[in-house]
Amino acid sequence: MWPRLPQEVFFQDSFRSRFFRMGIRAPPQLLELAGRSLLRDEALAITALEELPAELFPPLFSMAFAGMRSQALKAMVQAWPFPCLPLGALMKEHKPHLETFQAAIDGLDVLLAQEVRPRRWKLQVLDLRRDAHQDFWTVWSGTRPRVCSLLEPEAAQPVRKRPRVEGARAWPEQTWAPVEVLIDLCLKEGTPDASLSYLLKKVKQRRGSLLLCCQKLRVFAMPMQNIRKILKLVQLDSVQDLEVNCTWKLATLGRFAPHLGQMVSLRRLLLSHIHMTPHAIPGKEEHCVSQLTAQFTSLQHLQELYLDSISFLEGHLGQVLRCLKNPLETLSITNCMISESDLMHLSQCPSLSQLKDLGLSGVNLTSVSSEPLRVLIEKASATLQDLDLDECGIMDSQFSALLPALSHCSQLTTFSFCGNPISMAVLESLLHHTVGLSKLSHVLYPAPLESYEDVHGTLHLGRLAHLHARLKQMLQELGQPSVVWFSANPCPHCGDRTFYNPEPILCPCYMAA
């Protein structure tokens, strides 16, 4: 339903003639025609903003943005009658020109430069995130029936408490709170694009009155000096999701570590491809590890931790875990070397007793005891929902030792352990141990050892089909869903896998043969 308007809305002079008698049930086509007509004369449109009902700002702004009416945009930002302007959602729909984006930022800049705030000032948050407030512009264009109350105008007050806006942080009451700019940042190779550079320039000029807040931060291959220059302008306590996916040396990560410690609202952290320097000065690597792990004590809201291809982790996992101050929901350690003592620290860490998601894909466990992993699974059995043990090199005896703990995971929905050398007998034992797990619906089994022709991993498709049918029959007899997915070891020639359910999805080498 459209926002409530007076039964008849009249505008003065030529503005009245363009928006004649627009009632609550005016069709969107009429609104669009009236907006386009008004925007042909930007000077008139700017003059009319003082009398324009708040309900007409969003559709007129959208038309001005799509039509690259820079002066009208600049003026409308200054007169925006809502707490939040979700510009990012509009940028996703209409790819903006640099001039258009700059006009919107300039409007905010002019607004902040004024000592006396305009009568209709309501703007508190400029949201540049493209996936936030997706419905706002369609609602106001009349294609959706409801309006998000988050953006409804409120009565102007000389001193006001900031309403909570999606993604925004609470500020103490003050006469004029700063304006926040919400953005998701991706720092990658090369200099920042022109739009980001322009925004950073304005944030630097208006330091204190224009705050750059970033919920999601992605760091790729950008020089550290450039990263640090940008992060100096970001309110680091606004970052909730951080990915550092760089081929960094440990010393480089050490220089980044102080920024990490300031991200006190962080909920999700991914570190990937951090490697140690060969022939490093003794003690220097240890210092860098200590510098990094010390930052974890500040991350008291951390819920998800992903460590991928981290070469320094072996022998230091306990140091990382001891600094965790909050129970984790997700722990993913992939493609890393860890020792048996590291596994012991995993099993003893109190922050891992409420895990929902545990991933150890690509962590070689062939030569270590399975007891610490069994203890960890047992501790998290009341909450664990997703378990990934792909490519761990787990043998029959080790896997058998895990089965009693697995049978207690009442919330388990997904279990994947392909790429492990497991026999058919142990797979059958797994079915008997998990028969009581009513929520378990997705299991990716390794192709049994008996389905290979040789030690090189050549599949015998006839044997695989027979063993698949046998497991499927067992599931039916146990009253379980009879969907069985097999995954073979990577092909020794092309590296792709063959999947089976119940027809084979072959790797290119088999298809060529």
Q: Which residues are within 8 A (CB) of 91 and not within 5 positions of it... i.e. 6 or more apart?
A: 101, 128, 130
Q: What is the dihedral of CA 461, 462, 467, 470, to 10 degrees?
A: 140
CA distances from 457 to 143, 424, 453, 496 (A): 57, 16, 7, 12
CA distances from 405 to 117, 328, 380, 398, 430 (A): 64, 20, 9, 12, 11
pTM: 0.84
pLDDT score, position 237: 97
pLDDT score, position 507: 75
Residue type, 162: R
**What residue segments make up the domains of the chain, in order of their start?**
30-141, 334-512
pLDDT score, position 409: 97
Residue type, 362: G
pLDDT score, position 139: 64
Nearest to 114 by CA among 123, 101, 126, 102: 123
Residue 14 to residue 31: CA distance in whole angstroms: 16
In this structure, what DSSP letter does residue 55 have?
G
List, as one string, the DSSP characters of 247-286: EEEHHHHHHHHHHHHT-TT--EEEEEEEEPPTTPPTTHHH
Question: Which residue ranges of the chain lie beneath pLDDT 70?
Answer: 1-42, 118-120, 139-176, 279-280, 282, 482, 510-513
pLDDT score, position 335: 96
pLDDT score, position 30: 60
Nearest to 330 by CA among 354, 349, 363, 312: 354
Q: What is the pLDDT of residues 232-253, one digit of tens each?
A: 999 999 999 999 998 888 888 9
Residue 83 to residue 121: CA distance in whole angstroms: 9
Nearest to 263 by CA among 312, 204, 216, 313: 216
Angle at 445 between CA 398 and CA 339, to 5 degrees: 35
Residue type, 165: V
pLDDT score, position 458: 79
Residue 248 to residue 310: CA distance in whole angstroms: 10
Which helix or strand (DSSP H or E) is residue 13 part of?
helix 13-18
The arrangement of secondary structure in 334-512, i.e. its CATH architecture, is Alpha-Beta Horseshoe (3.80)
pLDDT score, position 135: 75
